[in-house]
Structure formats: C-alpha cells, structure tokens
Amino acid sequence: MAKRRQPPSPGYSQGKASVRPSLSLRLRPGWRLAGPGEFADAAGAPLHVAADLPRGAELVPTVPALAAADPKRLSAPERELARHVQLILPAGADPAKLLPAVKRWASVEDVRLPPDVSLP
C-alpha cells in the first residue's frame, strides 16, 4: 500500500517570510509603556514619542501581562521583563535609521536591532 503524502502543516511554508522590521527596547527602571506612542515614569509623568515614529509604527510590550500589572506587585525578575518593549515598524522601513532618535528618548536605557535570522 502506497504511503499517502500529507500536505504541509499550517504555519509552515517554503520561501521567505515577511516580518515587519522592529527595534528591541529596554526601558530605564521605573518607566513603562503608558499608551500608543507614550511612556510614563514612576511618578506618572508622560513622555510622548509618537511624533518621532513613522506612520503605522507600534510600541508593544514584549510581555503584555507584566506590562499591565502593578509594578509594586511584581518580583524583581518580572519587573525586569516588564521593561522590554518592541517597536514594530511599517513594512519596508529601515530600523537602523530610527535607532539614533530612539536612543535619545529619556525612557530608553538600551535599543537594539533584532538579530538577522534566516534558514539555510
């Protein structure tokens, strides 16, 4: 009896995946993502950065559940994870061009380009 060939599993494809460009941010201690294009310090003072972002860019917490939690109730490792934010850019944008502006934000301790991942 011949073995029947199975179609590829959903989510697997051949070819190049289209992933929007991004930057990885680590916020300074006490800072958090407060809303679209906005950070807040420990006292709640806002820092608006939306004007620095290209149209269609999004700031998203790396761990949404921790970002939404009360920082006073988080353990030290959870507070560290809550400091991480992704800046997702529109397709075709060059994240390296935005790097200098993001480094100047008072809320950001570190910003990096994501690793260049590819399959053989």
Looking at the predicted structure, is the pLDDT value of residue 84 above 80? Answer: yes
Looking at the predicted structure, is the pLDDT value of residue 119 above 90? Answer: no
Pull the structure tokens for residue 5: 């060939």
Q: What is the pLDDT of residues 31-67, one digit of tens each?
A: 999 989 999 999 999 999 999 999 999 999 999 999 8
Closest CA to 50 of 39, 37, 40: 37
Assessment of whether the complete model's pTM goes beyond 0.75: yes
Q: Is residue 104 part of a domain?
A: yes
Give the chain's domain count.
Answer: 1
Band of pLDDT at residue 12, cut at 50, 70 and 90: low
Q: Is residue 88 part of a domain?
A: yes
Whether the CA torsion 18, 39, 111, 80 is positive or negative: it is: negative
Q: Is residue 17 part of a domain?
A: no
CA distance 116 to 21: 10
Looking at the predicted structure, is the pLDDT value of residue 16 above 60? Answer: no
Q: Is residue 8 part of a domain?
A: no
> What average pLDDT score do residues 87-108 get?
95
Q: Is residue 29 part of a domain?
A: yes
How many percent of the chain have pLDDT more than 90? 69
Domain that holds residue 71: 22-44+55-112
- pLDDT, position 101: 94
**Residue with token string 């073995």:** 3
| 3-state class percentages of the chain: helix first, strand second, coil last, to nearest 5 | 20, 25, 50
Pull the structure tokens for residue 119: 């399959």
Q: CA-CA-CA-CA torsion for 24, 81, 63, 50, nearest 10 degrees?
A: -50
Band of pLDDT at residue 116, cut at 50, 70 and 90: confident
- pLDDT, position 17: 58
Pull the structure tokens for residue 60: 């998203």
The one-letter amino acid code at 47 reads L
